[in-house]
Structure 1
Amino acid sequence: MSLKEVDSTNNFLKNILSNSKPVPEGTVIMAEDQFAGRGQRENVWYAEPGKNLTFSILLKPNFVDARMQFDVTRVASLGVYDALSPLLGNQLSIKWPNDIYYGDKKLGGMLIENILQGSQIKNSVVGIGLNVNQNNFPDTAGNATSVTQILHKDYELKNLLAEICNHIERYYLSLKAGSVDFVRNTYLSRLYRLNEAKRYESNGEVFTGTIRGVTDNGLLIIDHADGQKHFSLKELVFLKD
């Protein structure tokens, strides 16, 4: 479903689900203008109308234990990565947990909202924002970039949307078939700053650490002067060199 304007495609999809009408898995809600898009840490996602991809996909991963819901994040991140990789090459990476980076610039991100039922995931609303044909960003967008800034040409949004959905489906079906290690190892191999000594901040402390992995449930593993530590999203800030 394509919408002209909406506050957030995730909110729109969740509202449909809350009306108790059956919504088929794989439903995609795309907005030309999303005026209240959200990212991680309650960040606002800025997107120029008609220039970018802002959409949400409904998944029903009831085969995933709620404790392992980060596997859904891995699947979504890999799907976007694989759709962009033929266009953008080896400077592409996934910044933990689910931002898409080109070099040290942010191309996109996602907000994944899981609705749990007991120990299983009933629904996953996967919201994705990707900068495609936008050339100018406000100062508040920080290190944002877009496909058109990298390639110096516009790209057809619906073609890219179809590619992303196809690749997400491929990884999702791999996960469903039990290829959990394949999904986790592939995600790790594409991680931004993997095995590089870089600066971070946690609880007011600035330190140099090296990303070594991600736990099964999604914590970032970093080698620290005091030994190996695990971090959640709220505990860690990536610093520029």
Structure 2
Amino acid sequence: MQNNIISGLFVGQNLVTLKEVDSTNTFLKNILSNSKPVPEGTVIMAESQYAGRGQHQNTWHAQPGKNLTFSLLLKPHFISPTQQFDLTRAVSLGVYDALHPLLGGGLKIKWPNDIYFGSRKLGGMLIENMIQGGQIKNAIIGIGLNINQDNYPESAGSAISVKQILQRDYDLKDILSEICSHLEGWYLKLKAGKTDIVRSTYLSRLYRLNEASEYRSNGETFTGTIKNVVENGLLVVERNGTEEQYNLKEIEFLNK
């Protein structure tokens, strides 16, 4: 089923809604592998995903019809593979800006690309870049957001939903429309070369920025302070007066 409820230029103009799918990222990859042209901005939205994935192969806990689970196709040929974290920044900012009018100051981006309210996880994304001939040919961006679900298994950890925060249900397509619109805006800023704005805004909205907090690295727990995210996406944490850089697998955030 296809319909157009999105007001932007191209993100979400081709919207495919599925009742159930293993993973919207996998579904979109399969369409691309069939060599049929797929327009940039295509969104695949599923009411239910039975094999949704997050970072580190984490499984996404989502009740059917209650949350936003969708994937988006972008073709960011203008981004060098060495600068691909800028796409992560732009996507994170698009989701943040769509939710901020509802949730206000409690909303943060947890490095690299989770969406947090307070110290609890509202959602996250999995970006899969396909690199060919030294450029990013396609980027498949899977996004999962907790919207109307009102309970989670203990295994879901710190999960929270918009409904649990605001005590009411929200129309999923309305929120999807807002995300598509804001995400497109940040993506076009990147395309126009406004990389500095994307990077500085992303940093300013970061969870735990300039706050002393607990972390674990190489089996050692320490108190550190997030100071920056460098060009290629590494997290800069000050510990014992020294700034150190970490990639995703090298540092774990511990709850306060």
Question: Does TM-score exceed 0.5, indicating one fold?
Answer: yes
**1:94-109 correspondence to structure 2 within 5 Å:** 94-109=109-124
Of the three residues 159, 162, 168, the one matched with 2:174 is: 159
Amino acid at match of 2:101: P
- Root mean square deviation of aligned Cα: 0.6
Structure 1: which 5+ runs fail to align?
none
Q: Give CA-to-partner distance per residue, 1:46-93, whole Å, 9 cap, x none.
A: 100000000000000000000010111111100010000000000000
Q: CA deviation at 1:216?
A: 0.5
Q: CA deviation at 1:202?
A: 0.5
Counterpart in 1 of 2:82? 67
Counterpart in 2 of 1:132? 147
Counterpart in 2 of 1:51? 66
SS at match of 2:170: coil
Of the three residues 204, 227, 233, the one matched with 1:218 is: 233
Q: Give CA-to-partner distance per residue, 1:2-58, whole Å, 9 cap, x none.
A: 000000000000011111111000000000000100001111111000000000000
Q: CA deviation at 1:190?
A: 0.3
**1:1-241 correspondence to structure 2 within 5 Å:** 1-225=16-240, 227-241=242-256
Q: CA deviation at 1:118?
A: 2.5
Separation in 1 of the partners of 2:52 and 2:30? Answer: 15
Q: Where has structure 1 moved over 2 Å in runs of 4 or more?
A: none
SS at match of 2:82: helix
Separation in 1 of the partners of 2:255 and 2:66? Answer: 28
Separation in 2 of the partners of 1:204 and 1:138? Answer: 27
Counterpart in 1 of 2:4? none
Separation in 1 of the partners of 2:158 and 2:84? Answer: 28
Q: Percent identity?
A: 67
- Indicate the larger mover: 102-111 or 221-230: 221-230
The normalised TM-score by structure 2 is 0.93
The normalised TM-score by structure 1 is 0.99
Separation in 2 of the partners of 1:209 and 1:61? Answer: 34
Separation in 1 of the partners of 2:133 and 2:87? Answer: 17
SS at match of 1:45: coil
Amino acid at match of 2:160: T
